[in-house]
Amino acid sequence: MSTSIEPFIHTKVVVLRSETSAQQAARVMCERGIGCVIVTGNEGEISGILTDRDLTCNLLANPGDLDVPIGDIMTRTLVTADESADLEQVIRIMDREGIRRIPVIRNMRGGRQKCVGLITLDDLIASEMVDISSLGRIVRKQLVRRGLRLVERKGIEAVWSRSAAHMDQSYHHFMNAMAEKTDLEKELCIQITRFLLGCLVQRIHYSGAAHLMAQLPRRLQEDLFSLPPGPDRSITVSSVVNETMVRFQMDEPMARSVLLRVLSVLGQILDPGQLEHVKAQLPEEFRELFAQSEKAQRAA
């Protein structure tokens, strides 16, 4: 039997307009003892959520910028739950998205939405409603997303991950470039690239994974979020080569050749500084594989 979310909804939610200054928002949050506010646009539509972390990061990075509108620093990618959702659905959303707070929405006439409350991971933990496995996944995904936002704030975000509206276009642009430069059939290139990126993400710590994923199309990022967290020390060059042989029905020389080509092209497409950050967290045998791919690319 499903569990209602009603007992876990904080109904006293503070809503501020997007033009409210950061200083005003900080004052409201301090006075109310809350960690976030819902942000609305000019027509009253829900446009984002502002957390204490958003405020802290902005004010520390820009100490004199107290009057910045909260619409400029809020988290725009707002994930919500309908008030009719059950608790299991909400936990799955937190798990999938790696978030701790979910606004609860009521659909009104005319297609408008009203925020009727907020559910937080902290309350679910206190109520012992989240199992340890789900909790671990939620927190790990939150840490990786936090790393991605840090990378993006430093201006390193790749051109194809800037707009969610262009996810498919960006993904295909990326994969077309990979297929062309590796001289592999596109579908095979897609499968091998996704497999190899998955291995790399799982082999390194979440901070390095965030730097790697920040360079990739958003559609790839979302897929990589679902992988078990690293570092997985069972992933070795030999295991990657062997799995490539089995999955794609190749002999060992062909598998190594294809992997080197894919690594070589990734080295050309990704930001050099961020790639070095990733390689620094990899074992020596993987760094040597990258070196071999670079040598092969120079010789081509």
Q: pLDDT class for 145, splitting at 50, 70, 90?
A: low
Taking the CA atoms of residue 187, residue 191, residue 197 and residue 203 in that order, the dihedral angle to the nearest 10 degrees is -170
CATH number of the domain where residue 98 is located: 3.10.580.10
Q: Highest mean pLDDT: which of 75-79, 133-137, 197-201?
A: 197-201
Mean pLDDT of 138-144: 63
Q: Highest mean pLDDT: which of 99-108, 118-127, 129-138?
A: 99-108
Residue with tokens 């999938």: 96
Instruction: Decide if pLDDT at 152 tops 90.
Output: no
The first and second tokens of residue 26, run together, are: 């900080």
Instruction: Decide if pLDDT at 103 tops 50.
Output: yes
Residue 17 lies in a domain: yes
Q: How many CB atoms lie within 10 A of CB 237?
A: 17
DSSP 54-118: HHHHHHHHSTT-TT-BGGGTSB-S---EETT-BHHHHHHHHHHHT-SEEEEEEE-GGG-EEEEEE
294 in the same domain as 168: yes
Q: Considering 88, 108, 130, which residue would you say is the last residue of a domain?
A: 130
178 in the same domain as 88: no
Lowest mean pLDDT of 84-88, 111-115, 258-262, name the range: 111-115
pLDDT at 60: 66
CB–CB of 74/49 below 8 Å?
Answer: yes
172 in the same domain as 270: yes
Lowest mean pLDDT of 14-18, 52-56, 80-84, 186-190, name the range: 52-56
Residue 135 lies in a domain: no
Range 161-168 contact pairs with CB under 8 angstroms and sequence separation of 24 or more: 161/214, 161/215, 161/216, 161/217, 161/218, 161/221, 164/77, 164/218, 167/217, 167/218, 167/219, 168/219
- b/e code 132-143 from CB counts within 10 Å (16+ = b): eebbebbebbbb
170 in the same domain as 97: no
Residue 73 lies in a domain: yes
93 in the same domain as 174: no
Residue 45 lies in a domain: yes
Q: Considering 87, 110, 130, which residue would you say is the last residue of a domain?
A: 130
Q: 47 in helix, strand or coil?
A: strand
CB–CB of 179/189 below 8 Å?
Answer: yes
Alpha helices in the chain (DSSP H): 22-32, 52-61, 87-97, 121-126, 132-153, 167-182, 186-203, 206-213, 218-225, 237-248, 252-269, 272-280, 284-299
Mean pLDDT of 252-266: 92
119 in the same domain as 10: yes
173 in the same domain as 102: no
Cα separation, 54 vs 238, whole angstroms? 43
Percent of the chain with pLDDT over 70: 86
pTM of the predicted protein model: 0.53
Average pLDDT over the chain reads: 82
Residue 146 lies in a domain: no
Q: How many CB atoms lie within 10 A of CB 253?
A: 9
Cα separation, 115 vs 103, whole angstroms? 6
pLDDT at 146: 56
Instruction: Decide if pLDDT at 154 tops 50.
Output: no
Percent of the chain with pLDDT over 90: 28
249 in the same domain as 169: yes
Residue 205 lies in a domain: yes
Lowest mean pLDDT of 162-176, 179-193, 271-285, name the range: 162-176
279 in the same domain as 202: yes
Instruction: Decide if pLDDT at 203 tops 50.
Output: yes
86 in the same domain as 178: no
Give burial (CB, 10 Å; 0-12/13-18/19+) of 59.
middle
CA 270 to chain centre: 17
Higher pLDDT, residue 145 or 130: 130
288 in the same domain as 176: yes
Q: How many CB atoms lie within 10 A of CB 43?
A: 7
CATH number of the domain where residue 216 is located: 1.10.490.110
Q: Considering 107, 130, 153, which residue would you say is the last residue of a domain?
A: 130
Residue 140 lies in a domain: no
Write the pLDDT tens digit of every residue in 11-39. Answer: 888 999 999 999 999 999 989 888 889 99
Q: Containing domain of residue 265, as a range?
A: 164-299
Provide the number of structural domains found in the chain: 2
Lowest mean pLDDT of 67-76, 98-107, 146-155, name the range: 146-155
Residue 1 lies in a domain: no
CB–CB of 89/81 below 8 Å?
Answer: yes
pLDDT at 207: 66
217 in the same domain as 126: no
Q: 185 in helix, strand or coil?
A: coil
